[in-house]
Copies of this chain bind each other. A is one copy, B any other.
Amino acid sequence: MARLALSTPLDVRLLARGLSVGEALAAFNAAHGEAGGIVSFLGKVRPDGDVRALELTHYEPLTLPGMQELASSAQARFELDGALVWHRVGVMVPGEAIVMVAAAARHRRNAFEGADYLMDHLKSAAWLWKREKRGNGWHWVEPRGADRTDLDRWK
């Protein structure tokens, strides 16, 4: 399998095209050979009801810098060996990956919490706006109350 080159300890990307989750995890694992535990999360477009497509827009000057700060704060807080934070932008169809994060740490609890923290913040605190294409056109997705509650867990 072709080996992706990752930057270490933090690899943060906004991707305009699809991502290969297997290659990403293999490269992250190789980049963190001394970690005891690696947790990854992959979020995909669900074929819910009549959702035909999903579009994520970002704001260049804020979105990626915000994700980089998030990765740094996760690394410091959970003593991570490293983190991968990748988010798709543009149009995606059901089954496609939207987001992938991974956290490497000495102990598994830190790796789990690091990945969980990254996702809760990407969901409600990253500069990204999502809309869905349904049978009757495009609709902006409102932030969910549950995402807000998830975020409050880390305060």
- Cα distance A36–B41 in the bound complex, in angstroms: 10
A82 at the binding interface (Cβ < 8 Å): no
Known: A21-B26, A23-B22, A25-B21. A42 touches B33 (CB 8 A): no
> Binding site of A, secondary structure by majority: helix, strand, loop or mixed?
mixed
B22–A46 touching, CB < 8 Å: no
Contact partner of A36 among B44, B111, B115, CB < 8 A? B44
A contact set with B: CB distance below 8 Å: 1, 20-27, 29, 33-44, 46-47, 94-95, 97, 106, 108-109, 111-112, 115-116, 119, 150
A34–B95 touching, CB < 8 Å: yes
A146 shortest CB reach to chain B, Å: 8
- Cα distance A43–B21 in the bound complex, in angstroms: 18
Additional A-B contacts beyond A36-B43, A40-B40 (6; CB < 8 A): A22-B23, A22-B25, A29-B42, A33-B95, A40-B42, A108-B119
